[in-house]
Each structure stands twice: as C-alpha cells, then as structure tokens.
Structure 1
Amino acid sequence: MIKIDRKWAVAACAMVLLIWGNSLVPGTGSSSLSLAIMEDVRGFLHSLSLPYEWVTNFVVRKCAHFTEYMVLGVLVTHAFDIEGRRTFDRLLPTVVFLLLVPSIDETIQLFVPGRAGMITDVMIDCCGAATGVVLRYLLRSLVCTKKAA
C-alpha cells in the first residue's frame, strides 16, 4: 500500500481547487485578467528595453496553464512518492491523477459561459505536470547527491 504525505496531499488538493476555481470564472473575467497580466509583462519588458510584442494574450494564457500544472506536478509527486523511489506503484497514481485533473478542468469549462474545453489545453497541462514531476525528481537527486558528498 502506498503511503501518502498528508501535508503535500492537502497542498495538491488546494492547488486543484485553485485551478478548477479559475476554470469557473466566465470568459469575460478570465480574459480581462489575462489581458491585465499581458500588459504588466509587456510594460516590464519595455522598461528593460527588451522586446515585448511577442507577449500576447494567447502566450499568457498558455503559460498560465503550463505553470499551474507544473506546480501541481511537484506537489502531487511529493504527496505520492515520499522517498523519491520512482517505482511503478508510486508513479502510476501520480500519472493517473495528473491526467484526470486537467481532463476534468477542461470539462468544467464546457459549462462556463465564454469558456471552451480544449484538448490542446489538456496536452499543455499534462506537459506542465510532467515538467513538475521531472523537476521534483531532479531536485531531489541533487539534494541527495549533496548530502552523500
């Protein structure tokens, strides 16, 4: 039987609620938030004399998808794999969880005015989650290597 670290599981559940809560925001509210972030990022890059035209609403929205699921990937990996063993019985629940959450997330959006559930967003979410899992294992390996040295 797999042990689950409760504090990391609570953090992961809180992140899922945050993600799903964002999906419940109607399209107009979600779009205005993305546009505000886009303008802030553009202004920041412009103040540094860096190119800023490439920062679009699309880029902001997709980066948000990727980032929130990357964080979720780290949290879920901590919750399901306390010792960092990377065995099948530890990775399977992590993978299943990280496939179900974005699928449910995009399904939620089908019922919210001005929003649309998109398979491409599920793929971006899964890539973000996979990145989080890999980052967690890489960081754990670095920490363990330093402790052994």
Structure 2
Amino acid sequence: MRIDLDLSLGHTKKNSNWELLYSIYGAFVILIFRNVSQKYIFTKIGFRLGLRQIGTKKAPHDTTLEKAYSLSKKWKLDQVRGLAKQLDVSEEEIESWLKLRSAQDRPSVLTKFCESSWRCCYYGSAWTGAVLIVWDKPWFWDLDQCWSVPSCSLFLP
C-alpha cells in the first residue's frame, strides 16, 4: 500500500515522500541533544549554583495504601479513617504515609532547573532562528507589503 502525498501545490517539482522522514530524524537529534545537555551541562550548572539532587524518604510499601493512592492522590478524612480501620493503624500514620508518598512523586529542584534550562535554550534558539530567517524579508519591516504581494506568487519557485 502506497500513500501518495502531493505537497507540491502544482508549481514546483514533486517531492519524494521520503523527505517527510527528515522531521523524524530531526526529532531524534533534538531528543538526544536534550538528554545530553540536561545530563552533562545543566546538571553541572545546577550543582555549581548550589542545587542538590536530594532524595526524599521512601514511603514503606503497602499494597492497600498504594492501590488507594493510585485511585486518588488526595484523600478525605473518611477515606483516611476507613484505611486506618482496615489496616489497624492510627490516622496519623496513614497521613504521614500519604505525605511521604506524595513527596516521593515530586521532582527535585535540580530536575526542575534542568527542565527549565532546556526550555529556555530550546525556545530561545527557535525564536532566534525564526528572526534570522525573516530578517531580510521586506514584509518583516513594512507591514503594508504583506498586503501588496499576491499570495499566489509566494508559492512560485
């Protein structure tokens, strides 16, 4: 089965469908660059700024509590009382387990810093690239030229 995508709009030569794979290759390159830069660049910058990858205390594994936690992350007082009766422990122990378990899911400050640094670099480079592409276009500086050029001529080679 062959899918024929005619992306030429009738004015240019017909492109090969294999050219669509360039975007997939580009996505893989960006993913690899993201992982490498987060691991080797942004983490080291975060360490130099004094951020630490602090491990939180792990909540003791309890299948009943884990099942209830997977259904709802926040529990009402009735649920806490019911689980305390079911497991034969105090309500304070259930609440402390819930605090430990929810803290276990939260990312550390260093992880948040690395993700924010990546977003800053990615969006900053995308914006810079876009400005560099349209910098020499006449309609970038004079908006009246956006309406003076017919749209059909934009697709001509």
TM above 0.5, yes or no, is no
Which of the two has greater helix per residue? Answer: 1
Q: TM-score range by the shorter chain?
A: under 0.3
Q: TM-score normalized by structure 2?
A: 0.24
